[in-house]
Amino acid sequence: MRFDSRAGSWPACYALLVGALLLAGCAGDPKPPPEPPVRQRAIEAETSGVARYVRGDYGTAIRLFSEAARLQQSLDDGGAAARNQLNRARAELALGQAQDTLNHASEVGDGPLLVRALLLQLQANLALGRFDPASELLAHMEKLCPYGCPERGSFLLLRARVALTDRNAKQALVDAEAALSILKGQQEERETANALRVIAAARLALGELSTALVAAQAALEIDRQLALPEKIARDWMMVGDIHHRAKRASDAKSAYQRAQSVAQAAGLEDIVRLASEAIVEKSQ
């Protein structure tokens, strides 16, 4: 067989033969069987829920995770159902529904997801101002999540928050810095920003204002990259509090105004109120 220089291509019969061979090769490749319809719907609901959560559409994420959990339970897949139950609880916590978070996270018992469930229960109790149950959970989790536990960074961060609540800024700083080291290694950007925020609060309480400001600004930079309005507004509030403590009234006022502006645009009424009060009371 030779190249036809007049046509500028291989003969048509050769092209057809090559095409047929390629088709035959593709047809012979094994294809994975399709997922059963109910399981496919569950997978799609969970995947969509994760995407909505990342975008900050927590209400839709809750609905999708609930549907995924229901479908997985109907298939007798308890592990997948529990995973989506915790996904739902996490979205509820992000939406400020701490009691719902506590209820749903408490339904996940023993198993590989227990530590994650307890972490959510701990966060919910803190959000609800229930510090005694939070302390009890911390003591329980110390045994369940020792060094090397994948959730150790998040655990230490929550322990730091409890220490701050108990006005033990030194212990809060130790735990938050240990958490920061772990979370950075895990590339957990949201939790890294949370750790920096706790470090800023602890250093502010200890009067270490310059390092507190560095931590608060680092948290702000991460939260801007992640596009999290509530966190951004709270970061600006922290920056304002640090400037206020340093008696830099104009800087404090500017920071509180930034917090107010972000909160107003995002419809965060509680932070708008806090920022408005701070502008009047702390920036004179």
Among the listed residues 185, 208, 211, the one whose alpha carbon sits nearest the alpha carbon of residue 196: 211
pLDDT digits (tens, 9 = 90+) for 51-94: 999 888 999 999 999 999 999 999 999 999 999 999 999 999 99
Checking if the pLDDT of 240 tops 90, the result is: yes
Quote the tokens at residue 23: 């088709």
DSSP count for the chain of H helices, then E strands:
14, 0
Q: How many domains does the chain have?
A: 1
* Residues in the chain, total: 284
d(CA 283, CA 103): 41
Confirm whether 183 is domain-assigned.
Answer: no
pLDDT digits (tens, 9 = 90+) for 72-82: 999 999 999 99
Contacts of 135 by beta carbon, 8 Å cutoff, 6+ apart: 162
Could you list the residue range(s) of the whole structural domain that residue 240 is in?
A: 228-284
Whether the model pTM is above 0.85: no
What integer pLDDT is reported at residue 26 of this predicted model?
52
Task: Determine the average pLDDT of the residues in 150-171.
Answer: 94
- The Cβ of residue 221 has, within 10 Å, a number of other Cβ atoms equal to 14
Contact 176, 206 (CB under 8 A): no
Provide the residue type at 205 as one letter. A
